[in-house]
Amino acid sequence: MSQQIIHNTGNNYTLYYNVINYFKTIMSNHPSIEVATTGDLWDIGERQFPAYPIANIQILETDFGTSVTNYRCQLIVADKVKNRNNESDDRTNEQLVAYFGVDDKVDSFANTLAILNDLTSYTQRGVQGFEINDDVVCTPFADRFDNGLAGWSAEFTLTTHNDKNRCLFFLVNPSGSGYIIQNCETQEKYKAVLAEPGSIGQVFATLSPVPPNGPNINTYYNFICYTIVGTFSGEDDYNFVNLPILKIPYADFGNCEYCKLWTTPQIWGTTPQNWSSGSAVAYRQWQYD
């Protein structure tokens, strides 16, 4: 029974399953192919099939481009070589060919190559979403397997679009605790996933970029003050991920001016005397002899 040909439109054909199923469909629909398989070549060589010719698809390797997935494919079409007098070995079909014309090997080569041409041409010209941009390299074989098969092995690169939709999975923070934060200096807004929960109106200090060994609040290094102005969920187009809220000494300074007072080196007369007395802390004073 013929299977429906799928023309890719509306399907995510960058998926491995869909590539295999596509070839299974066109191989099963070809009038000259009796059995369609997928898998390792050694499995083909050790099995006897109820009917021939057979076709097998195998994905050899895959690479992801900027917006594509490239599958290196091996497509084999093979037939059982038969002796004209039907005197070949039942298991391996091995025989000594004394001269051209004892068996139908030439016919097998001709037919299986024509089938490969049909399958690859249809993929190149008849299906949207798949591209075969390089040459299809076909190699004949006759003694490759122990079960008396002869045919062709074709290798080619199948390219399909990969939109790399980052919204398929919310990988960074499944709970969706994203915040819109505003830079106290530039007033620019960003989307960020904070390392801990925050609240709208909170003014906090952080480091950007965060040093590889983690934040160091004992040095004045890239401290930035932000105000949390909103929240968002269900998106992953972040500007910052796992941005820390540094308690130096407060997780919420209340306003940008106070945050900048603590995070930006000031002249001596406007620098707090200590880091733990809250908003009422006295400023440092010049001492005279």
Predicted confidence band of residue 1 (pLDDT cuts 50, 70, 90): very low
Contacts of 236 (CB under 8 A, 6+ apart): 166, 167, 170, 171, 172
CB 36 within 8 A of CB 20: no
Query: What average pLDDT does the structure give for the chain?
Result: 76
Predicted confidence band of residue 28 (pLDDT cuts 50, 70, 90): very high
CA distance 130 to 14: 9
Q: Which of 249, 196, 239, 197 is nearest to 218 (CA)?
A: 249
Q: Identify the DSSP state of 15.
A: S
Residue 51: its pLDDT value, please?
A: 82
Q: What is the pTM of this model?
A: 0.52
Q: What is the CATH number of domain 16-161?
A: 3.30.2000
Residue 280: its pLDDT value, please?
A: 57
Q: What pLDDT, in 10s, does the model give residues 94-109?
A: 544 444 555 678 888 9
Domain residue limits, the chain? 16-161, 169-266
Residue 47: its pLDDT value, please?
A: 65
Phi, psi of 269 (to 5 degrees): -75, -10
pLDDT at 7 over 50: no
Predicted confidence band of residue 5 (pLDDT cuts 50, 70, 90): very low
CA gyration radius for the chain? 34
Across residues 120-130, what is the average pLDDT?
85
Q: What pLDDT, in 10s, does the model give residues 193-244?
A: 888 889 999 999 997 655 545 545 444 457 899 999 999 876 767 788 778 8
Contacts of 155 (CB under 8 A, 6+ apart): 60, 72, 73, 74, 75, 136, 137, 139
pLDDT at 246 over 80: yes
Predicted confidence band of residue 61 (pLDDT cuts 50, 70, 90): very high
Paired tokens of 255: 């306003």
CA distance 248 to 253: 9
Partners of 204 in the β-ladder: 226
Given phi > 0 = left and psi -120 to 50 = alpha, else beta, which region is 169? beta
CA distance 164 to 231: 25
Residue 210: its pLDDT value, please?
A: 52
Q: What pLDDT, in 10s, does the model give residues 133-177?
A: 889 999 998 866 666 788 999 999 999 888 765 544 445 544 446
